[in-house]
Amino acid sequence: MRIAFLTAPEGVEQVELTEPWKAVSDAGDEPRLVSTRSGRVQAFNHLDKADTFPVDQVAADASVDDFGALVLPGGVANPDALRMDKDAVAFVKAFFDAGRPVAAICHAPWTLIEADVVRGRTMTSWPSLRTDLLNAGADWVDERVKVCDAAPGTLITSRKPGDLEAFCETFTAEFARFAGAGASAGR
């Protein structure tokens, strides 16, 4: 199954991209980097520039039908830029409209708020997003990983890089469950 990783051209937290990417690959799935511009994305280790990664597809040209699931890595600047891009927000919302699973870590729920898909869902995030999520209609909990299986689609959220092991184990299991239930998208 092809898994979309959506990032802005600059500001994604490197470990929140690379560890989930490795987990998807190790699970036998195909990770694909989607961004708002072609070229390369600049990752960061907190506030310091880290590696760059090649973009596979631009969000404006991407279709949810090409992917079985979506991963939203964090970093402060990454989701802040994504939530200001109409194509990125529409791409995220399309996964929920299609009932496909989405995994988001750290600050990534900012993009989910902009896509108006958090209302009525129980989720977690970096603590500073608590009020934003509550104001958007979500129920916020302080847990390593939270799976919200409310329709449409499953949402897996996590708080921070320290929770990556649990996050990766949980979302890869949920993605496999979705694929096993007969999902044919992104194959």
Considering the candidates 107, 121, 146, 159, report the single residue annotated as catalytic: 107
How much is the average pLDDT of 82-96?
98
Residue with tokens 């590696």: 51
The pTM score is 0.96
Question: How many structural domains compose the chain?
Answer: 1
Per-residue pLDDT tens digits for 42-73: 999 999 999 999 999 999 999 999 999 999 99
pLDDT at 186 over 80: no
pLDDT per residue as tens digits for the range 104-140: 999 999 999 999 999 999 999 999 999 999 999 999 9
Given a cut of 70, whether residue 184 has pLDDT beyond it is no
CATH code for the domain in which residue 88 is found? 3.40.50.880
> Coil, helix or strand for 7?
strand
Which amino acid appears at position 115 of this protein? A
**Domain range for 48:** 2-180
Residue 186 lies in a domain: no
Is 52 a domain residue?
yes
Helix axes 164-180, 14-26, angle to 10 degrees: 40
For residue 183, pLDDT over 90 is answered with no
Judge whether 24 lies within some domain. yes
* Residues 130-175 pLDDT 10s: 999 999 999 999 999 999 987 778 999 999 999 999 999 999 999 9
Would you call 107 a catalytic residue per the annotation? yes
Is 187 within a domain? no
